[in-house]
Amino acid sequence: MRIIVDAMGGDNAPAEIVKGAVEAIREFGVSVTLVGREEEITACLKNERAADLDAKINIVNATEVVEMEDDPTTVLRSKKDSSMSVALKLLKDGEGDACISAGSTGALLTGATLIVKRINGIRRAALAPVLPNGGRGVMLIDCGANVDCTPEYLLQFGFMGSFYAKNILGCENPRVGLLNVGVEETKGTDLQTETYTVLKAADAAGHINFIGNVEAREVLFDKVDVVVTDGFSGNIMLKTIEGTGMFVMSNLKEIFTANKRSKVAALAMKKRLGEFKKKIDPSEVGGTALLGISKPVIKAHGSSDARALKNAILQAINFVNADVANEIVKNIELMTIPKAE
Protein backbone atom coordinates (compact mmCIF):
# COMPACT_ATOMS: atom_id res chain seq x y z
CA MET A 1 0.00 0.00 0.00
CA ARG A 2 1.25 3.48 -0.86
CA ILE A 3 0.09 6.62 0.95
CA ILE A 4 0.51 10.02 -0.71
CA VAL A 5 1.45 12.78 1.75
CA ASP A 6 1.39 16.52 1.16
CA ALA A 7 4.75 17.20 2.81
CA MET A 8 4.37 21.00 2.74
CA GLY A 9 0.92 21.30 4.36
CA GLY A 10 0.46 22.42 7.94
CA ASP A 11 2.21 24.53 10.56
CA ASN A 12 5.07 22.07 11.11
CA ALA A 13 5.87 21.14 7.51
CA PRO A 14 7.99 19.70 6.17
CA ALA A 15 10.10 18.54 9.16
CA GLU A 16 7.36 16.99 11.33
CA ILE A 17 5.45 15.68 8.33
CA VAL A 18 8.50 13.84 7.01
CA LYS A 19 9.37 12.57 10.49
CA GLY A 20 5.85 11.20 10.94
CA ALA A 21 5.99 9.53 7.54
CA VAL A 22 9.30 7.86 8.39
CA GLU A 23 7.88 6.62 11.70
CA ALA A 24 4.82 5.23 9.91
CA ILE A 25 6.98 3.37 7.39
CA ARG A 26 9.01 1.78 10.17
CA GLU A 27 5.98 0.89 12.29
CA PHE A 28 3.36 -0.07 9.69
CA GLY A 29 5.50 -1.17 6.73
CA VAL A 30 3.62 1.14 4.37
CA SER A 31 5.18 2.92 1.37
CA VAL A 32 4.91 6.71 1.21
CA THR A 33 5.08 9.29 -1.57
CA LEU A 34 6.17 12.67 -0.19
CA VAL A 35 5.02 15.60 -2.33
CA GLY A 36 6.65 19.02 -2.07
CA ARG A 37 9.91 20.88 -2.49
CA GLU A 38 12.37 18.10 -3.14
CA GLU A 39 15.43 19.73 -1.59
CA GLU A 40 13.65 20.44 1.67
CA ILE A 41 12.16 16.95 1.86
CA THR A 42 15.54 15.34 1.13
CA ALA A 43 17.17 17.38 3.89
CA CYS A 44 14.50 16.28 6.35
CA LEU A 45 14.99 12.62 5.38
CA LYS A 46 18.71 12.98 6.05
CA ASN A 47 17.94 14.34 9.50
CA GLU A 48 15.78 11.29 10.14
CA ARG A 49 18.53 8.93 8.94
CA ALA A 50 16.08 7.27 6.57
CA ALA A 51 18.54 6.03 3.94
CA ASP A 52 17.55 2.43 4.71
CA LEU A 53 13.98 3.23 3.68
CA ASP A 54 14.74 4.35 0.11
CA ALA A 55 12.69 1.49 -1.34
CA LYS A 56 9.64 2.65 0.64
CA ILE A 57 9.92 6.38 -0.05
CA ASN A 58 9.21 8.26 -3.24
CA ILE A 59 9.59 12.04 -3.59
CA VAL A 60 7.55 14.00 -6.13
CA ASN A 61 8.68 17.59 -6.56
CA ALA A 62 6.11 20.39 -6.31
CA THR A 63 7.33 23.96 -6.24
CA GLU A 64 4.35 25.76 -4.68
CA VAL A 65 2.54 25.64 -1.35
CA VAL A 66 -1.12 26.36 -0.60
CA GLU A 67 -1.14 28.73 2.37
CA MET A 68 -3.87 28.76 5.02
CA GLU A 69 -5.01 32.22 3.94
CA ASP A 70 -5.27 31.30 0.25
CA ASP A 71 -8.65 31.10 -1.43
CA PRO A 72 -9.79 27.44 -1.57
CA THR A 73 -9.86 27.55 -5.38
CA THR A 74 -6.12 28.28 -5.37
CA VAL A 75 -5.46 24.56 -5.48
CA LEU A 76 -7.02 24.48 -8.94
CA ARG A 77 -6.18 27.89 -10.37
CA SER A 78 -3.12 29.91 -9.43
CA LYS A 79 -1.13 27.15 -7.67
CA LYS A 80 -1.51 24.11 -9.87
CA ASP A 81 2.02 22.98 -8.95
CA SER A 82 1.33 23.15 -5.22
CA SER A 83 2.11 20.11 -3.10
CA MET A 84 -1.62 19.67 -2.36
CA SER A 85 -2.66 19.87 -6.01
CA VAL A 86 0.02 17.45 -7.15
CA ALA A 87 -0.77 15.01 -4.31
CA LEU A 88 -4.46 14.94 -5.23
CA LYS A 89 -3.65 14.45 -8.92
CA LEU A 90 -1.41 11.52 -8.03
CA LEU A 91 -4.30 9.96 -6.10
CA LYS A 92 -6.67 10.54 -9.00
CA ASP A 93 -4.21 8.90 -11.41
CA GLY A 94 -3.85 5.80 -9.25
CA GLU A 95 -0.31 6.53 -8.06
CA GLY A 96 -1.32 5.85 -4.47
CA ASP A 97 -4.13 4.40 -2.37
CA ALA A 98 -4.90 7.42 -0.15
CA CYS A 99 -3.90 11.05 0.27
CA ILE A 100 -3.16 13.00 3.46
CA SER A 101 -2.71 16.74 3.92
CA ALA A 102 -2.45 19.00 6.97
CA GLY A 103 -2.93 22.05 4.75
CA SER A 104 -5.95 24.32 4.29
CA THR A 105 -9.21 22.47 4.92
CA GLY A 106 -11.12 24.50 2.35
CA ALA A 107 -8.52 23.97 -0.33
CA LEU A 108 -8.30 20.24 0.36
CA LEU A 109 -12.06 19.83 0.24
CA THR A 110 -12.28 21.83 -2.99
CA GLY A 111 -9.36 19.96 -4.54
CA ALA A 112 -10.64 16.55 -3.51
CA THR A 113 -14.09 17.35 -4.89
CA LEU A 114 -12.91 18.73 -8.25
CA ILE A 115 -9.74 16.70 -8.85
CA VAL A 116 -10.39 13.30 -7.25
CA LYS A 117 -14.20 13.75 -7.62
CA ARG A 118 -17.14 12.80 -5.45
CA ILE A 119 -18.72 9.36 -5.66
CA ASN A 120 -21.40 9.51 -8.35
CA GLY A 121 -24.71 10.30 -6.66
CA ILE A 122 -23.24 11.83 -3.51
CA ARG A 123 -24.40 15.44 -3.26
CA ARG A 124 -21.68 16.74 -0.95
CA ALA A 125 -18.53 15.35 0.61
CA ALA A 126 -18.40 15.67 4.40
CA LEU A 127 -15.73 16.11 7.06
CA ALA A 128 -16.22 13.30 9.55
CA PRO A 129 -13.96 13.32 12.65
CA VAL A 130 -14.10 10.56 15.23
CA LEU A 131 -14.47 11.96 18.75
CA PRO A 132 -13.61 10.16 22.01
CA ASN A 133 -16.42 8.71 24.09
CA GLY A 134 -16.93 5.85 26.51
CA GLY A 135 -16.63 3.29 23.72
CA ARG A 136 -14.97 2.99 20.31
CA GLY A 137 -15.48 6.64 19.47
CA VAL A 138 -18.31 8.59 17.87
CA MET A 139 -18.32 10.04 14.36
CA LEU A 140 -19.52 13.61 13.85
CA ILE A 141 -20.65 14.21 10.27
CA ASP A 142 -20.48 16.98 9.01
CA CYS A 143 -18.12 19.22 11.02
CA GLY A 144 -17.68 22.16 8.67
CA ALA A 145 -17.61 21.28 4.99
CA ASN A 146 -21.26 22.14 4.33
CA VAL A 147 -22.75 25.07 6.21
CA ASP A 148 -26.04 24.95 4.29
CA CYS A 149 -27.55 21.47 4.01
CA THR A 150 -30.68 19.76 2.76
CA PRO A 151 -32.40 16.68 4.24
CA GLU A 152 -30.90 14.60 1.43
CA TYR A 153 -27.36 15.71 2.34
CA LEU A 154 -27.96 14.68 5.94
CA LEU A 155 -29.52 11.38 4.88
CA GLN A 156 -26.38 10.62 2.91
CA PHE A 157 -24.20 11.69 5.84
CA GLY A 158 -26.06 9.17 8.00
CA PHE A 159 -25.43 6.33 5.55
CA MET A 160 -21.76 7.22 4.98
CA GLY A 161 -21.10 7.60 8.68
CA SER A 162 -22.79 4.28 9.36
CA PHE A 163 -20.61 2.48 6.81
CA TYR A 164 -17.46 4.03 8.33
CA ALA A 165 -18.50 3.15 11.89
CA LYS A 166 -19.25 -0.44 10.91
CA ASN A 167 -16.17 -1.13 8.82
CA ILE A 168 -13.54 0.93 10.65
CA LEU A 169 -14.76 1.53 14.20
CA GLY A 170 -16.09 -2.02 14.47
CA CYS A 171 -19.69 -1.14 15.39
CA GLU A 172 -21.84 -4.11 14.39
CA ASN A 173 -25.05 -2.10 14.01
CA PRO A 174 -24.05 1.60 14.27
CA ARG A 175 -26.48 3.83 16.14
CA VAL A 176 -27.21 6.91 14.03
CA GLY A 177 -28.53 10.01 15.78
CA LEU A 178 -29.59 13.45 14.53
CA LEU A 179 -28.10 16.37 16.48
CA ASN A 180 -30.93 18.52 17.76
CA VAL A 181 -32.05 20.79 20.61
CA GLY A 182 -34.26 18.07 22.08
CA VAL A 183 -35.07 14.39 21.63
CA GLU A 184 -38.68 14.88 20.51
CA GLU A 185 -39.17 14.35 16.77
CA THR A 186 -40.94 17.71 16.42
CA LYS A 187 -37.90 19.65 17.70
CA GLY A 188 -35.65 21.82 15.55
CA THR A 189 -35.96 23.78 12.33
CA ASP A 190 -37.47 22.51 9.09
CA LEU A 191 -34.10 20.92 8.27
CA GLN A 192 -34.14 18.78 11.41
CA THR A 193 -37.80 17.78 11.25
CA GLU A 194 -37.61 16.85 7.56
CA THR A 195 -34.33 14.99 8.06
CA TYR A 196 -35.85 13.10 10.99
CA THR A 197 -38.59 11.84 8.68
CA VAL A 198 -36.24 10.52 5.99
CA LEU A 199 -33.85 8.95 8.50
CA LYS A 200 -36.78 7.28 10.25
CA ALA A 201 -37.97 5.91 6.89
CA ALA A 202 -34.49 4.52 6.18
CA ASP A 203 -34.55 2.85 9.58
CA ALA A 204 -38.01 1.37 8.98
CA ALA A 205 -36.72 -0.09 5.70
CA GLY A 206 -33.85 -1.73 7.58
CA HIS A 207 -31.11 0.29 5.89
CA ILE A 208 -29.68 2.12 8.92
CA ASN A 209 -30.16 2.03 12.70
CA PHE A 210 -31.64 5.47 13.40
CA ILE A 211 -32.16 6.07 17.12
CA GLY A 212 -33.73 9.54 16.80
CA ASN A 213 -32.61 12.96 17.95
CA VAL A 214 -29.65 13.36 20.28
CA GLU A 215 -28.66 16.39 22.32
CA ALA A 216 -25.06 17.60 22.34
CA ARG A 217 -24.55 16.60 25.97
CA GLU A 218 -25.26 12.94 25.11
CA VAL A 219 -22.71 12.62 22.31
CA LEU A 220 -19.64 11.75 24.39
CA PHE A 221 -21.33 9.13 26.59
CA ASP A 222 -21.46 6.13 24.25
CA LYS A 223 -25.16 6.54 23.48
CA VAL A 224 -24.67 7.01 19.74
CA ASP A 225 -22.07 5.96 17.14
CA VAL A 226 -22.78 8.47 14.33
CA VAL A 227 -24.03 12.01 14.90
CA VAL A 228 -25.56 13.59 11.80
CA THR A 229 -25.69 17.37 11.49
CA ASP A 230 -25.07 20.29 9.16
CA GLY A 231 -21.54 21.66 8.97
CA PHE A 232 -22.40 24.87 10.83
CA SER A 233 -23.74 23.16 13.96
CA GLY A 234 -21.17 20.38 13.69
CA ASN A 235 -18.24 22.77 13.58
CA ILE A 236 -19.49 24.69 16.61
CA MET A 237 -19.89 21.43 18.50
CA LEU A 238 -16.44 20.18 17.49
CA LYS A 239 -14.71 23.43 18.49
CA THR A 240 -16.62 23.51 21.78
CA ILE A 241 -15.47 19.99 22.61
CA GLU A 242 -11.87 20.82 21.68
CA GLY A 243 -11.96 23.99 23.78
CA THR A 244 -13.50 22.19 26.74
CA GLY A 245 -10.78 19.54 26.58
CA MET A 246 -8.07 22.21 26.58
CA PHE A 247 -9.78 24.02 29.47
CA VAL A 248 -10.06 20.83 31.55
CA MET A 249 -6.42 19.83 30.98
CA SER A 250 -5.19 23.35 31.77
CA ASN A 251 -7.11 23.42 35.04
CA LEU A 252 -6.02 19.92 36.02
CA LYS A 253 -2.41 20.97 35.49
CA GLU A 254 -2.93 23.96 37.79
CA ILE A 255 -4.61 21.80 40.43
CA PHE A 256 -1.92 19.11 40.43
CA THR A 257 1.02 21.53 40.48
CA ALA A 258 -0.35 23.96 43.07
CA ASN A 259 1.70 22.63 46.03
CA LYS A 260 3.75 19.67 47.26
CA ARG A 261 0.69 17.72 48.37
CA SER A 262 -1.02 18.07 44.99
CA LYS A 263 2.23 17.14 43.20
CA VAL A 264 2.38 13.92 45.22
CA ALA A 265 -1.23 13.24 44.25
CA ALA A 266 -0.32 13.89 40.61
CA LEU A 267 2.43 11.26 40.81
CA ALA A 268 -0.06 8.77 42.20
CA MET A 269 -2.50 9.60 39.40
CA LYS A 270 0.11 9.90 36.65
CA LYS A 271 -0.96 6.81 34.73
CA ARG A 272 -4.68 7.62 34.83
CA LEU A 273 -4.07 11.27 33.93
CA GLY A 274 -1.92 10.16 31.01
CA GLU A 275 -4.68 7.85 29.80
CA PHE A 276 -7.22 10.67 30.02
CA LYS A 277 -4.97 13.10 28.18
CA LYS A 278 -4.39 10.53 25.45
CA LYS A 279 -8.14 9.97 25.10
CA ILE A 280 -8.88 13.63 24.34
CA ASP A 281 -5.73 14.34 22.31
CA PRO A 282 -6.59 14.94 18.61
CA SER A 283 -3.12 13.68 17.67
CA GLU A 284 -4.16 10.16 18.66
CA VAL A 285 -6.75 10.09 15.86
CA GLY A 286 -4.49 11.87 13.41
CA GLY A 287 -7.02 13.28 11.01
CA THR A 288 -10.52 13.60 9.64
CA ALA A 289 -11.88 11.49 6.81
CA LEU A 290 -13.48 13.21 3.81
CA LEU A 291 -16.42 10.91 3.19
CA GLY A 292 -18.08 10.94 -0.21
CA ILE A 293 -14.88 11.32 -2.22
CA SER A 294 -14.20 8.49 -4.67
CA LYS A 295 -10.82 7.68 -3.10
CA PRO A 296 -9.61 7.99 0.51
CA VAL A 297 -8.58 11.52 1.51
CA ILE A 298 -7.60 12.41 5.09
CA LYS A 299 -7.42 15.95 6.46
CA ALA A 300 -4.75 16.04 9.17
CA HIS A 301 -4.85 18.79 11.78
CA GLY A 302 -3.06 21.98 10.74
CA SER A 303 -0.78 21.78 13.78
CA SER A 304 0.06 18.12 13.25
CA ASP A 305 3.35 16.93 14.69
CA ALA A 306 5.09 13.68 13.74
CA ARG A 307 2.88 11.56 16.01
CA ALA A 308 -0.30 13.04 14.57
CA LEU A 309 0.89 12.49 11.00
CA LYS A 310 1.88 8.91 11.77
CA ASN A 311 -1.59 8.26 13.19
CA ALA A 312 -3.19 9.92 10.15
CA ILE A 313 -1.32 7.42 7.99
CA LEU A 314 -2.66 4.58 10.14
CA GLN A 315 -6.15 5.99 9.69
CA ALA A 316 -5.58 6.12 5.92
CA ILE A 317 -4.44 2.48 5.93
CA ASN A 318 -7.60 1.42 7.76
CA PHE A 319 -9.70 3.56 5.41
CA VAL A 320 -8.24 1.84 2.36
CA ASN A 321 -8.59 -1.66 3.82
CA ALA A 322 -12.23 -1.06 4.79
CA ASP A 323 -13.11 0.04 1.23
CA VAL A 324 -15.84 2.40 2.51
CA ALA A 325 -16.14 4.14 -0.86
CA ASN A 326 -17.17 0.89 -2.54
CA GLU A 327 -19.85 0.26 0.08
CA ILE A 328 -21.22 3.75 -0.54
CA VAL A 329 -21.30 3.04 -4.29
CA LYS A 330 -23.18 -0.23 -3.75
CA ASN A 331 -25.85 1.48 -1.65
CA ILE A 332 -26.18 4.81 -3.46
CA GLU A 333 -29.76 4.10 -4.59
CA LEU A 334 -30.86 3.93 -0.96
CA MET A 335 -29.32 7.32 -0.22
CA THR A 336 -31.45 9.57 -2.42
CA ILE A 337 -34.81 11.21 -1.88
CA PRO A 338 -37.16 10.79 -4.87
CA LYS A 339 -38.12 14.08 -6.46
CA ALA A 340 -41.75 15.06 -6.12
CA GLU A 341 -43.61 14.80 -9.39
User: Looking at the domain assignment, is residue 81 inside a domain?
Assistant: yes
Residues 260 and 152 in one domain: yes
303: part of which helix (H) or strand (E)?
none
Residues 136 and 260 in one domain: yes
Q: Residue range 328-335: average pLDDT? A: 92
**Distance, CA of 156 to CA of 229 (rounded, Å):** 11
Mean of pLDDT over the chain: 91
Domain count, the chain: 2
For the stretch 83-123, pLDDT in tens is 999 999 999 999 999 999 999 999 999 999 999 999 999 99
Residues 17 and 45 in one domain: yes
Dihedrals φ, ψ of 313, to 5°?
A: -65, -40
> Which of 233, 257, 284 delimits the end of a domain?
284
CATH of the domain at 1: 3.40.718.10
For the stretch 137-180, pLDDT in tens is 899 999 989 999 999 999 999 999 999 999 999 999 999 999 99
Pick the range with the lowest mean pLDDT from 53-57, 66-70, 103-107: 66-70
Q: Residue range 29-51: average pLDDT? A: 95
User: Looking at the domain assignment, is residue 333 inside a domain?
Assistant: no
Residues 46 and 104 in one domain: yes
**Distance, CA of 120 to CA of 331 (rounded, Å):** 11
User: Looking at the domain assignment, is residue 256 inside a domain?
Assistant: yes
**Distance, CA of 272 to CA of 320 (rounded, Å):** 33
Residue 36, phi-psi category: left (phi > 0), alpha (psi -120 to 50), beta (remainder): left
For the stretch 287-299, pLDDT in tens is 899 999 999 999 9
User: Looking at the domain assignment, is residue 341 inside a domain?
Assistant: no
Which distant-in-sequence residues (6+ apart) come within 8 Å of 176 by Cβ? 158, 161, 162, 199, 203, 208, 209, 210, 211, 224, 225, 226, 228
What Å distances lie between residue 131 and 20, 165, 239, 273, CA to CA? 22, 12, 11, 18
> Is the bond preceding residue 142 a cis peptide, omega within 30 degrees?
yes
For the stretch 237-282, pLDDT in tens is 999 988 888 888 888 889 888 888 888 888 888 888 777 776 666 6
Q: Residue range 122-137: average pLDDT? A: 89
User: Looking at the domain assignment, is residue 339 inside a domain?
Assistant: no
For the stretch 203-250, pLDDT in tens is 999 999 999 999 999 998 889 999 999 999 999 999 998 888 888 888
Residues 72 and 150 in one domain: no
Residues 276 and 134 in one domain: yes
Residues 264 and 308 in one domain: no
Chain centroid to CA 303: 14
What domain range includes position 109? 1-122+292-324
In three-state secondary structure terms, 288 is strand
pLDDT of res. 340: 57
Query: Degrees (nearest 5) of the Cα angle 319, 324, 326?
Result: 130
Residues 86 and 149 in one domain: no
Residues 105 and 132 in one domain: no
Residues 138 and 64 in one domain: no
pLDDT of res. 285: 66
Residues 211 and 175 in one domain: yes
Helices (DSSP H) in the chain: which residue ranges? 15-28, 38-47, 83-92, 105-111, 151-167, 190-204, 231-256, 260-268, 270-280, 306-322, 324-330
User: Looking at the domain assignment, is residue 153 inside a domain?
Assistant: yes
- Using a pLDDT cut of 70, give the percent of the chain over it: 96
User: Looking at the domain assignment, is residue 63 inside a domain?
Assistant: yes
User: Looking at the domain assignment, is residue 189 inside a domain?
Assistant: yes
- Residues facing residue 60 across a β-bridge: 35
pTM of the model: 0.90
Residues 71 and 214 in one domain: no
